[in-house]
């Protein structure tokens, strides 16, 4: 999500097309991050909405008030949006921002040109704004004044929680593989030993809950299952997918940065995971490596890590270094599945 396009979001203020909100004005920065422009808003009543836990940690460390979702019934004087790439998700958050913006309030949104920025003007007009636009930093910023109250129901619903995969699951745009079963996760599920999990188990990067539901369905002796993800929306979708099902297992939901949060639970008998490996179009194997390291810290001696990864990612050396035994269980269709056992404590 991080990128130069955030510089474009503040261009209308820098050029004088728009005046900075008065001190005390209520401002909502949606999908916000720590960036240069946000400093100019510090004297206002600024709320930063962010669902991605690592960015929330950065914002809170910098002294900003954060919320995971758009506050219900808000009445903001200005709404700023770092626009997401996925179109239905973008329409949803634009509609959500306009719902809590006062009539007469200013709405701004910016996105990279190659990640949906070019369509922002058309989307804003569809939502009833008279739009100004400017391009810079390979990005587009749009702005407009909200003239009257509106529901924006169609656009809001397009990106809200909804049935997917023929009604098997609940998910929403923006979550990893939101409307389908990820091929890597499916391969991992097919490789897991049925009935082979007991005790305290974790699903690192649980997404909307596909692997968690597989574990619960095939392993009735799991006492506790921890569903952990950095995306607050994914944790909520996972909760909705598991809720109301007849499992004896105690379910714990954690919105956390698996790589670095100090409060991450430990003492697991097993961890399963399909770790992330990219941000936007950039491959970042470091993310998967940090998940492996977190699993090694969190497992009990003799505990097992089951994971799937894209075949080209270089995880074998780290697995061999951190675990007493590591076996490649399967490799097919561009994925590889590993089972690694943690050694005894020194």
Q: Domains in the chain, please, with CATH?
A: 5-158 (3.40.50.150), 163-341 (3.40.50.150)
160-184 pLDDT, tens digit per residue, is 999 999 999 999 999 999 999 999 9
State residue 40's pLDDT score: 82
In angstroms, the CA 28 to CA 25 distance is 10
Q: Would you state the structure tokens that stand for residue 214, as one six-digit string?
A: 């597989």
State residue 150's pLDDT score: 79
Please list, residue by residue across 299-338, b when 16 or more beta carbons sit within 10 angstroms of its beta carbon and e when fewer do. Answer: beeebbbbbbbbeebebeebbeebbeebeebeeeeebbbb
pLDDT over threshold 70, residue 206: yes
121-156 pLDDT, tens digit per residue, is 999 999 999 999 998 878 999 999 998 877 899 999
State residue 139's pLDDT score: 92
Q: Against a cut of 0.85, is the pTM above it?
A: yes
Residues 31, 83: contact at Cβ < 8 Å? Answer: yes
pLDDT over threshold 60, residue 93: yes
Report residue 228's pLDDT band, with 50, 70 and 90 as the boundaries. very high
Phi and psi based region of residue 315 (left: phi greater than 0; alpha: psi -120 to 50; beta: remaining): alpha
Report residue 285's pLDDT band, with 50, 70 and 90 as the boundaries. confident
pLDDT over threshold 70, residue 1: no
């Amino acid at each position: 999500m991080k990128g130069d396009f955030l510089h474009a979001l503040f261009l209308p203020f820098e050029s004088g097309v728009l005046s900075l909100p008065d001190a005390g004005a209520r401002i909502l920065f949606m999908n916000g991050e720590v960036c240069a422009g946000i400093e100019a808003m510090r004297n206002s009543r600024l709320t930063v909405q962010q669902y991605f836990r690592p960015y929330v940690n950065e914002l809170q460390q910098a002294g900003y008030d954060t919320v995971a979702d758009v506050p219900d019934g808000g009445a903001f004087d200005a709404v700023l949006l770092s626009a997401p790439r996925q179109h239905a998700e973008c329409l949803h958050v634009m509609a959500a921002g306009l719902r809590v913006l006062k009539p007469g309030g200013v709405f701004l949104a910016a996105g990279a040109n190659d990640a949906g920025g070019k369509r922002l003007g058309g989307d804003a007009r569809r939502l009833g704004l008279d739009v100004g636009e400017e391009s810079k930093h390979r990005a587009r910023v749009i702005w407009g004044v909200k003239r009257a109250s509106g529901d924006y129901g169609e656009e809001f619903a397009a990106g809200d929680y909804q049935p997917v995969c023929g009604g098997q699951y609940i998910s929403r745009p923006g979550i990893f593989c939101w409307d389908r079963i990820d091929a890597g996760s499916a391969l991992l599920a097919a490789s897991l030993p049925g009935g082979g999990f007991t005790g305290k188990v974790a699903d690192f990067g649980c997404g909307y809950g596909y692997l968690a539901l597989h574990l619960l369905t095939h392993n009735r002796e799991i006492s506790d299952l921890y569903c952990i993800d950095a995306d607050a929306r994914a944790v909520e979708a996972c909760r909705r997918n598991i809720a109301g099902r007849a499992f004896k297992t105690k379910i714990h939901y954690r919105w956390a940065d698996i790589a670095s949060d100090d409060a991450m639970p430990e003492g697991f008998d097993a961890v399963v995971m399909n770790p992330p490996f990219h941000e936007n179009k950039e491959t970042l194997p470091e993310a998967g490596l940090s998940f492996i390291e977190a699993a090694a810290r969190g497992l009990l001696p003799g505990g097992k890590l089951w994971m799937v990864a894209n075949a080209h990612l270089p995880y074998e050396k780290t697995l061999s270094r951190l675990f007493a035994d590591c076996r490649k269980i399967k490799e097919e269709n561009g994925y590889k599945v590993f089972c690694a056992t943690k050694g005894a404590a020194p």
